Chains A and B, each alone.
Chain A
Amino acid sequence: MKKNILGLNPKDTKFLLIVVFLTLFTPILLQPFAAGSELAQFNGGYPDLMQKIAIFGIFAVGFNILFGLTGYLSFGHAAFLGIGSYAAVWMFKLLTMNVIPGILLAMVVSGLFAAAIGYVSLRRSGIYFSILTLAFAQMCYKMAYSVLTPLTNGETGLQLTLNDPRILDGAQQGSSLPVTNIFGLAMNSSYKVEALGRVFTFNVGFYFCAVIAILAFYVAIRLFRSPFGMMLRAVKSNQQRMTYTGLDPKPYTLAAFVISGMYAGLAGGLLAAMDPLAGADRMLWTASGEVVIMTILGGAGTLMGPVLGAGVIKYLENIFSKINEGVLHDWFSFLPDGVEDVVIWVFARFTGEGWHLTLGVTFMLVVTFLPGGLIEGLKRLASRIRNGSQKRDKYDDPDPEHRPDPGKRVAGE
């Protein structure tokens, strides 16, 4: 038997190393355009965006463990994200500004909520399951917004104040709020490096998120390749056969639900660690929908897809919403006046406030032409490059039983 590093086969090890490389070099990779150039608009290498990509990557990877493997489409996962944020902020208020206890509590609390919500919701499958999770998430949102105001600070959102106890941090005097840190290293500190006419920002918060994202991704690979992961795919494939094979699908789906809820809680805790406030809006149903879109856009059931989807959506959201009419004026000032106005009007629908339209069009195109998501697009591209562009039809995938190899095809076919 071949020796496996970290319990992964050579192919997965290579895959993980690529992900580690991409993640650690994000500050450089997302900064391709020189500062001051017209295209600098499209640079994404600033801490806030990079942190969001890593955090929502974790969220989507966790969601995919439930949706991609078992096929159960939860429409309420943002509830766990919000619960994680509240739990983490409470830890910052009561115990310490060190993020570790906060994140751990976020995972535990959201895991407990996931167990309770999952236990009830998983009594049904298909659309009824989706509706039940949606209902629970909206209940959580409404409770956070109004009934549970003492815990959540309602509309304003849970924030740090100067007279929070913070038992472990001791008497911290001063007139400014403390910042989240990891063993004294502040999350919001950055090191800027200027090189090649570009400014690269290496941010502590981002690297903290990146390391956790890599760990979360590693756990997901192990889970996908494990017998447990196979059982989850069996749930999606045929529950009847599973039952008559002596397996109880329920604890498997519940375990997947709790695991993905804890991933969401982890992501929520990290959001709070980057910016220590938690609001009920984080639990709104649109936030639940967003993670569904991320997963499907990238490729549900694949390892890399959800991360890719999260990256694309957060990039579009942050970059496209920044492009306002003023920026468009600069771009199109070379056009004659009348034409310029028309072009700007059209582009303005897709940028700034209208970035959702760009997202919608992208999503529609991907779902229509690449049902397997962006990952499928990349795979097709890779095989095009490797094998040259042959005429492809739906019978082209290898199936020795019914379809001859391409090599054995009769000439002229």
Chain B
Amino acid sequence: MGILEVKGVGKRFGGLQALGNVNLSVQENTVHAIIGPNGAGKSTLLNCLVGKLIPDEGSVTFAGTSVLGKKPHEINQLGISRVFQTPEIFGDLTVMENMMIPCFAKRDGAFRMHAIESMEAETDLIAKAEAMLEDVGMLEKREMIASSMSRGDKRRLEIAMCLVQEPKLLLLDEPTAGMARADTNNTIALLKEIKEKRDITIAIIEHDMHVVFSLADRITVLAQGTPLVEDTPDMIKGNPKVKEAYLGETQQV
């Protein structure tokens, strides 16, 4: 029994069957990659996991709780954090404020009227946020306005914001899309470090094969809305069905 169980999930948009009978089991403390060609339904699947979309059929259970019909913020409170394709951060706020917000969300839940307390008094949370920034090597940027940073730093900050909540499951939606090679390699190194140091399960959607094969423990290949095959990276590389459906005849892996 995995930490995340997807059973028989289907989703239609009008006449388009985006997902059909998707079964997926993500085991605890592994990195599970979901790959597939454009339009395979990767993002639709991810949106079904975080509450942005509600599947037409099937079930999604996380650590024994059904997430169907729950709102995104409720699902986050269960322990799922999501990293977006383009970094979603609080651009107008400083890096430190960006870190404090998830700390408050983790401690106080979805809403708390802490209007009279001062920020300086929250020494525990400040220490926690600073330690996390230290971990990702951004402590010296704590007073910068988040939107003025480079894309790689924004990504780093977004991952730090997710990790400071100590999620059980981290969902990454093409974390290196549109990045320069150096930034991609930095992100891979960061994710590897996270995987080794923390008890965390990671599910990753990715186009870049380099990223997938250097991180994943298991890979699921989606094609036309259904899982084609699920296996270890080595077996996926050699699988002729995958080559045909996704990698193409000529591509070297």
Contact = CB atoms under 8 A, between A and B. Distances in A.
Contacts of A4: 118, 120
Among B119, B149, B165, the most chain A Cβ lie within 10 Å of the Cβ of B119
Given A226-B118, A399-B148, A401-B144, A245 B161 contact: yes
Nearest to A400: B144
A142 interface: no
A242 to B, nearest CB: 7
Contact of B149 (A8, A225, A236, A401): A401
A236 B109 CA distance: 20
B123 to A, nearest CB: 8
A59 B149 CA distance: 37
Size bracket of the B interface = 35 or more
Main secondary structure of the interface of A (DSSP, over half): helix
Given A234-B101, A242-B101, A247-B111, A227 B119 contact: yes
A241 B118 contact: no
Interface in B85-125: 88-93, 97, 100-102, 104-106, 109-120, 122-123
Contacts of A228: 112-115
B198 interface: no
Contact of B90 (A1, A225, A241, A255): A241
A236 B92 contact: yes
A331 to B, nearest CB: 47
B118 A230 contact: no
B73 A226 contact: no
B90 A234 contact: yes
A223 interface: yes
Contacts of A230: 93, 97, 100-101, 119
Contact of B88 (A222, A223, A225, A244): A244
Interface residues of A, number: 34
A233 B100 CA distance: 13
Contacts of B59: none
A407 interface: no
A246 B77 contact: yes
B111 A251 contact: yes
7 contacts: A227-B119, A238-B88, A243-B72, A244-B72, A244-B88, A245-B101, A399-B144
Interface of B: 50, 71-73, 76-77, 81-82, 84, 88-93, 97, 100-102, 104-106, 109-120, 122-123, 141, 144, 148-150, 161, 165
